[in-house]
Amino acid sequence: MLSGSSPCFFGKHLGENEVELRRIALDYVKRHNTMTIATCANNLPWAATVFYASEDFVLYFISNPNVAVHCKNIAQNKIVSVTISEDYILKSISDWRKIKGIQMEAEAEMLKERKDIERAFLVYTKKFPFTSLYLKKLFSIGEYTFKERLLLKLKMVPPFSPSLDNRFYRVLPKRVFLVDNERSFERRIEIPV
């Protein structure tokens, strides 16, 4: 970027305030671990909370397409909404100002291409390194490290038997909004994606 020029996202130059808001929103996404994903199929809405890992505003999660309602819905309708937020306690009227979060309009998809699965694996295990053993086995990705082999041999891996039917999903944002009631009460702020 040239000195004095603003960052550019898809051809749109951002002002200092927009750059700062984008940084705040990305930081919020990175610091949190769960999201609620809302799906809909056959005019029946569904919401599920899942762990996620992020790369910019792209979110990855793991779920079972044979069992999970949200996965079945995504197979029929890729349009989803996402929220990332905290659980606040309302003790006084001023507590409403504490509310912060992320809202997204997005499309979700089950990953099928090997390169996409490997990318999701890297992003997910960077955030949740302890999932590496399970995910390497599930997706046949890479070799176990010396430490992982040792943990397996010594049976020091906690018992964990999730379904081998689990798959990676990717959420691609179309619009992202920052909710920050201290900054803008009752108004969400659109963030460039």
pLDDT at 130: 85
- At residue 84, does pLDDT exceed 80? yes
Task: Give the chain's mean pLDDT.
Answer: 88
The per-residue DSSP string of 74-132 comes to HHH--EEEEEEE------SGGGGGG-EEEEEEEEEEE--SHHHHHHHHHHHHHH-GGGH
Locate the domains of the chain by residue range. 8-191
pLDDT at 124: 98
Neighbouring CB atoms inside 10 A of 79's CB total 14
Which tops the pLDDT comparison, 15 or 96?
Answer: 96
Residue 24 near residue 15 (C-beta atoms within 8 A): no
Token pair, residue 95, equals 């507590």
Whole-model pTM: value is: 0.85
Sign (positive or negative) of CA dihedral 70, 72, 73, 77: positive
Model confidence at 183, pLDDT cuts 50, 70, 90, reads: confident
Q: Tell the residue number behind the tokens 């898809």, with chain if given.
A: 10
The angle subtended at Cα 63 by Cα 74 and Cα 162, nearest 5°, is: 155
Residue 107: partners with Cβ closer than 8 Å, 6 or more residues away: 78, 79, 80, 171, 172, 174
Neighbouring CB atoms inside 10 A of 96's CB total 13
**Phi–psi pair at 124, nearest 5 degrees:** -70, -45
Neighbouring CB atoms inside 10 A of 122's CB total 14
- 8-191: which CATH architecture? Roll (2.30)
Token pair, residue 18, equals 């927009």
Flag the least confident range among 40-49, 130-139, 147-156. 147-156
Which tops the pLDDT comparison, 184 or 54?
Answer: 54
pLDDT at 182: 83
| Interatomic CA distance for residues 110 and 77, integer angstroms | 12
In this prediction, residues 152-181 reach a mean pLDDT of 85
Token pair, residue 131, equals 């999932």
Model confidence at 4, pLDDT cuts 50, 70, 90, reads: very low
In this prediction, residues 53-60 reach a mean pLDDT of 98
pLDDT at 161: 63
pLDDT at 107: 98
Model confidence at 3, pLDDT cuts 50, 70, 90, reads: very low
pLDDT at 89: 87
